Amino acid sequence: MQLTVTGKQIDVGDALRRHVEASLTSILAKYFGTAIEAHAVLAREAHLTRAEISVHIGRGIEVNAHAVAQEIYAAFDAASDRVAKRLRRYKRRLRDYHAKARERATAGERAIDYVLAPVVEEADDEELDGALGSAPAVIAEMSMELPHLTVGEAAMRMDLADAAVLLFRNRSHGELNLVYRRADGNIGWIDPELDPTRQTRRRAP
């Protein structure tokens, strides 16, 4: 596993780096096996410290977690515990999915993920109308894979990545679908019937 440990306003010494590597290696060995790469970012925020962990464990599967604490070791340990809980929740399904992904490994579709500038809160009505009527400013853009998944796999990926939303192509009928995290804690699923001839059968993911 390729491991990168980055410190922001924090000196990442050998002892902390060894702690990060030992913890992530142990977690991955217990719940998954191996990972392609992992990245830990340790940063100081005022009087607190923040730890962010991102682990790439397979084709298109990212596990993300973060935590904040007064002490950097405590922040990292809390974030790594969240990684472990997510991997434990999906341990069997991840191994099954990983095996199937190797069997059907093909060049997937791509999409562009844009980051747009927010609407300025202090804008008056005239400025706001102009901003809403024009194309928003693009801050950044990146290419991303548009995966072919079942609804259950999409919900799993979104949860593992600690993401708010995931766009995918539904493997059962080939159309674009979206899963998202609702304010009540449940997961929403949008399945537009773009093909009027398709008879959609609703069933549990």
- Here the tokens at position 5 are 């440990």
- φ/ψ region of 174 (left if φ > 0, alpha if ψ in -120 to 50, else beta) reads left
For residue 78, is pLDDT > 90? yes
CB-based contacts of 26, cutoff 8 Å, min separation 6: none
Place of tokens 């010494």: 13
Cα gap 155→139, rounded to integer Å: 28
Regarding whether 6 and 33 lie in a shared domain, the answer is yes
| Final residue in a domain of this structure, among 79, 101, 123 | 101
Specify the DSSP element, H or E, that contains 154: helix 151-160
For residue 139, is pLDDT > 90? no
Predicted confidence (pLDDT) per residue in 187-199, tens digit = 999 998 766 665 5
Residue 201 confidence class, pLDDT cut points 50, 70, 90: very low
Crossing angle for the helix pair 151-160 and 72-89, to the nearest 10 degrees: 170
For residue 166, is pLDDT > 70? yes
Whether 202 is in a domain gets the answer no
Domain containing residue 31: 2-101
For residue 129, is pLDDT > 80? no
| Final residue in a domain of this structure, among 101, 119, 137 | 101
Regarding whether 113 and 60 lie in a shared domain, the answer is no
Whether 197 is in a domain gets the answer no
For residue 35, is pLDDT > 70? yes
- Are 1 and 28 in contact by the 8 Å Cβ rule? The answer is yes
- Here the tokens at position 196 are 């009027």
Percent of the chain residues past pLDDT 90, beyond the cut: 48
Give me the amino acid identity at 108.
G
- Give me the pLDDT at residue 114, please: 76
Predicted confidence (pLDDT) per residue in 81-117, tens digit = 999 999 999 888 887 766 666 555 555 678 887 787 7
CATH number at residue 118: 3.30.505.50
